[in-house]
């Protein structure tokens, strides 16, 4: 059964979910935007008999602290996550990376490659080939970050946009409203638009690191399962298939669902993880 905790890390209260025997191999679950660790609510019970599961909320997300003075960059989110692992005395782990969790997870892997037992990348992109059409527009914003464009990208926090992230590419009636309703509720927390806008702008640093992430894969050849909602318009299936360019042993599975694949295919994804690792 999952338990719920807050721990002080770098002066910040970081929330995390924990399940499974502490003597089992650790499975670190890293969430995406605009969600938090609640996105793993269906997956955790399917894995807790085999893994010691740790699923944190990043700074500024979910139940973790969201201080106004924090530097909301992916480098800083990674630094706090690394320090969380130190506080929890976790020295080796599998990681499940999704969306924003992918560049954070791969930064962790580059910093300490021998800690990684294996990687599950679920719509967790690290290849230019995996960037859907909207990213060309974001690249223009990164090159010319006008206040007008920054304001425009606040539409990413609109309720209809968040619902679309969950529902696009899925069969009607297959997605519970629980996840996106909670994500929408979190958008009303103080300072949400500013910190999330900062991260949208900083995402360009992740794209710039793609060649280094790929070099890590080529050099260390970690065991990797790429399981992808193939109807995702943000991170398209080419991003999953591209793993085989650097990691021929990668296991790639394309599922008939959208970006938040766990909402519809948690059982299938859990079975693939258990088989692979």
Which residues are marked as active site?
Answer: 259
Residue appearing with tokens 């996550």? 81
Distance CA 231, CA 209 (A): 25
Cis link prior to 13 (omega < 30° from 0)?
Answer: no
Helices (runs of H) and strands (runs of E) counted in the chain:
11, 8
Q: At what angle do helices 192-220 and 101-111 cross, to 10 degrees?
A: 50
Helix-, strand-, coil-residue percentages of the chain, each rounded to 5: 45, 20, 35
Cβ burial, residue 194 (10 Å; 0-12/13-18/19+)? middle
Please give the radius of gyration of the chain, using alpha carbons only, rounded to the nearest integer. Answer: 17
Residue positions counted in the chain: 277
Q: Which two tokens stand for residue 218?
A: 């080529």
Spell out the residues 6+ positions from residue 251 whose beta carbon is closer than 8 angstroms to its own: 224, 225, 226, 272, 276
CB 258 within 8 A of CB 229: yes
Classify burial at 230, counting beta carbons within 10 Å of its beta carbon; exposed 0-12, middle 13-18, buried 19 or more: middle
Cα–Cα nearest to 256, from 229, 234, 236 = 229
What stretch of H or E contains 244?
helix 243-246
């Amino acid at each position: 059964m999952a338990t719920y905790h807050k721990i002080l890390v770098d002066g910040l209260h970081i929330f995390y979910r924990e399940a499974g025997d502490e003597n089992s191999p650790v499975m670190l679950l890293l969430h995406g935007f605009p969600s938090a660790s609640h996105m793993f609510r269906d997956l955790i019970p399917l894995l807790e008999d085999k893994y010691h599961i740790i699923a944190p909320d990043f700074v500024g997300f979910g139940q973790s602290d969201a201080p106004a003075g924090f530097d909301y960059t992916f480098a800083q989110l990674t630094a706090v996550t690394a320090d969380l692992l130190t506080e929890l005395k976790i020295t080796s782990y599998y990681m499940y990376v999704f969306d924003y969790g992918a560049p954070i997870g791969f930064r962790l892997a580059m910093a300490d490659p021998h800690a990684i037992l294996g990687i599950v990348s679920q719509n967790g992109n690290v290849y230019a080939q995996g960037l859907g059409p909207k990213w060309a527009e974001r690249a223009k914003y990164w090159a010319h970050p006008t206040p007008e464009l920054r304001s425009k990208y606040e539409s990413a926090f609109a309720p209809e946009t968040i619902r679309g992230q969950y529902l696009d590419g899925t069969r009607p009636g297959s997605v519970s409203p629980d996840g996106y309703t909670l994500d929408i509720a979190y958008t009303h927390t103080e300072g949400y638009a500013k910190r999330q806008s900062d991260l949208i702008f900083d995402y360009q640093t992740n794209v710039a690191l793609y060649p280094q992430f790929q070099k890590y894969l080529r050099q260390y050849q970690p065991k990797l399962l790429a399981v992808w909602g193939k109807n995702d318009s943000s991170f398209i299936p080419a991003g999953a298939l591209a793993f085989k360019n650097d990691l021929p042993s990668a296991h790639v599975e394309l599922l008939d669902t959208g970006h938040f694949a766990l909402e519809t295919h948690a059982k299938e994804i859990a079975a693939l993880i258990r088989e692979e690792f």
